[in-house]
């Protein structure tokens, strides 16, 4: 049966999504549910979908945040299902937490707070104990220090910019920096040619890379050896980016001064040099609303118009609608696919008004605006083409 844009769409919400985002899904077009065996779309934050039974109607998944490690992206790609995220939606929240982490380490705020909490506030010698004890918590200023940023996406660029405004020097490295990120990177940030160059030059190193195969254990035995003695490592990226065993060895040997992270681990228990926060990076009202609005808008545009923006597994592909009938086709990125699609439609005297084809790796996505209705027999013939993953017909 053909799928039409006006049909009510069942959206399964698996985590608490900010109402500012959900309110953008009109009740006339969408049904929001908490349980469903066959949802047409899924909205989530941290719910683990690995091993999840998605059903046969799933069209899209939206993650109200940046990371997608909790989603089986490769499986969904083969099913022709885009996975949307909200890059940059929580960037300011993470940036502010990184700055807080640097200040906590620089001014030794964590042990200082513990010291004050341990004092007998009712005692008459409180002022004397405070004055005597504060000597143990003398810190250093950030001004004049060098911050190294590994990963110059939205968060990394914001962190570098904020550091510069605090009077720090900034050096960054990202071999895959995007054009948009390059434009937003402050001119004062020195671009390094390698991670090693960043590590050697920096008093503070902040990590802002996704957790993928090539970044797992990125800061391990080899790279930690290049960090300055007494440097501070900050990880508000993903826990697997840092090798815990090697890190602890560096802390015990006092080659590193502090490790500040948003990912607690049993391995850090009792380590005064480790400041571990309970995954607070995106935990602000503003960030949750930004991410929800961003991902809902992307999901809605895909469901209604077939447009793709910020899908981690699909190319960006958006085209203004000029006629009533549209086909949105996910397929393997192989030769002759467009010719076979065009031949199928032409054989049924369906004229193509406009077309957009984009690819990303082994995945291609094609939008076709056609000038007449597409019958079910034509859709069935298109689905039979080898390499076809998913077809959506957005009719009048």
pLDDT tens-digit series, residues 177-225 = 877 778 888 899 999 999 999 999 999 999 999 888 899 999 999 999 9
Q: Are residues 221 and 350 in the same domain?
A: no
pLDDT of residue 396: 64
Q: Are residues 132 and 258 in the same domain?
A: yes
Q: Are residues 261 and 301 in the same domain?
A: no
**Please, which pLDDT band fits residue 4 given cuts at 50, 70 and 90?**
very low
Q: Are residues 84 and 56 in the same domain?
A: yes
pLDDT of residue 183: 82
Residue 83, H or E segment: strand 83-84
pLDDT of residue 344: 96
Residue 392, H or E segment: strand 388-394
Asked if residue 1 has pLDDT above 90, the reply is: no
pLDDT of residue 282: 87
pLDDT of residue 96: 97
Q: Are residues 231 and 151 in the same domain?
A: yes
- The model's pLDDT over 155-172, given as tens digits with 9 standing for 90+, comes to 999 999 999 999 999 999
Q: Are residues 391 and 291 in the same domain?
A: no
Asked if residue 283 has pLDDT above 80, the reply is: yes
Domain of 213 in residue numbering reads as: 91-276
**Please, which pLDDT band fits residue 5 given cuts at 50, 70 and 90?**
very low
The tally of domains found in the chain comes to 3
CATH code of 41's domain: 3.40.50.720
Q: Are residues 51 and 21 in the same domain?
A: yes
CATH code of 367's domain: 3.30.70.260
Please name which of 202, 208, 216, 203 lies closest in space to residue 185, comparing C-alpha atoms: 208
Boundary of a domain, candidates 292, 314, 336: 314
3-class state of residue 197 by DSSP: helix
Between CA 213 and CA 247 the distance in angstroms is 19
Boundary of a domain, candidates 261, 294, 314: 314
Model confidence, pTM: 0.81
Average pLDDT on 312-338 reads: 96
Q: Are residues 299 and 382 in the same domain?
A: no
Helix axes 154-165, 91-106, angle to 10 degrees: 50
Q: Are residues 161 and 251 in the same domain?
A: yes
CA-CA-CA-CA torsion sign (335, 338, 341, 344): negative
3-class state of residue 331 by DSSP: strand
**Please, which pLDDT band fits residue 121 given cuts at 50, 70 and 90?**
confident
Boundary of a domain, candidates 247, 276, 305: 276
Q: Are residues 142 and 28 in the same domain?
A: no
Q: Could you write out the DSSP letters of every residue in 131-192?
A: HHHGGGG----STT-EEEEE--SHHHHHHHHHHHHTT-EEEEE-TT--HHHHHHS-TTSEEP
Q: Are residues 125 and 246 in the same domain?
A: yes
Q: Are residues 374 and 246 in the same domain?
A: no
């Amino acid at each position: 049966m053909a799928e039409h844009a006006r049909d009510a769409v069942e959206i399964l919400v698996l985590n608490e999504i900010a109402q500012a985002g959900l309110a953008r899904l009109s009740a006339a077009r969408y049904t929001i549910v908490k349980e469903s065996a066959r949802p047409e779309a899924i909205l989530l934050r941290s719910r683990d979908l690995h091993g999840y039974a998605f059903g046969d109607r799933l069209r899209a998944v939206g993650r109200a945040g940046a990371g997608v490690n909790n989603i089986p992206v490769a499986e969904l790609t083969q099913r022709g299902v885009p996975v949307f995220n909200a890059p940059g939606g929580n960037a300011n929240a993470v940036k502010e937490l990184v700055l807080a982490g640097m200040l906590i380490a620089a001014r030794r705020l964590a042990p200082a707070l513990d010291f004050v909490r341990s004092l007998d506030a009712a005692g008459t010698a409180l002022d004397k104990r405070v004055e005597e004890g504060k000597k143990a918590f003398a810190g250093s200023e950030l001004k004049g220090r060098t911050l190294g940023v590994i990963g110059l996406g939205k968060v990394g660029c914001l962190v570098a910019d904020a550091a510069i405004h605090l009077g720090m020097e900034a050096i960054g490295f990202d071999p895959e920096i995007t054009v948009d990120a390059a434009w937003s990177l402050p001119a004062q940030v020195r671009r390094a040619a390698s991670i090693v160059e960043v590590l050697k030059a920096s008093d503070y190193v902040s990590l802002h890379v996704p957790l993928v195969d090539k970044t797992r254990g990125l800061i391990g035995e080899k790279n930690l050896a290049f960090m300055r003695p007494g440097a501070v490592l900050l990880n508000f990226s993903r826990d697997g980016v840092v090798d815990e065993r090697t890190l602890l060895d560096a802390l015990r040997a006092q080659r590193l001064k502090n490790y500040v992270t948003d990912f607690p681990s049993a391995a850090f228990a009792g380590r005064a040099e480790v400041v571990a926060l309970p995954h607070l990076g995106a935990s602000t009202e503003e960030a949750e609303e930004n991410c929800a609005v961003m991902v809902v808008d992307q999901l809605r545009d895909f469901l209604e118009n077939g447009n793709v923006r910020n899908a981690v597994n699909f190319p960006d592909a958006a085209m203004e609608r000029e006629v009533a009938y549209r086909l949105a086709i996910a397929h393997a990125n192989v030769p002759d696919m467009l010719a076979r699609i065009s031949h199928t439609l032409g054989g049924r005297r369906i004229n193509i008004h406009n077309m957009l084809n984009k690819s990303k790796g082994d995945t291609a996505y094609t939008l076709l605006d056609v000038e007449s209705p597409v019958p079910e027999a034509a859709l069935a013939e298109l689905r039979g083409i080898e390499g076809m993953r998913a077809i959506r017909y957005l009719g009048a």
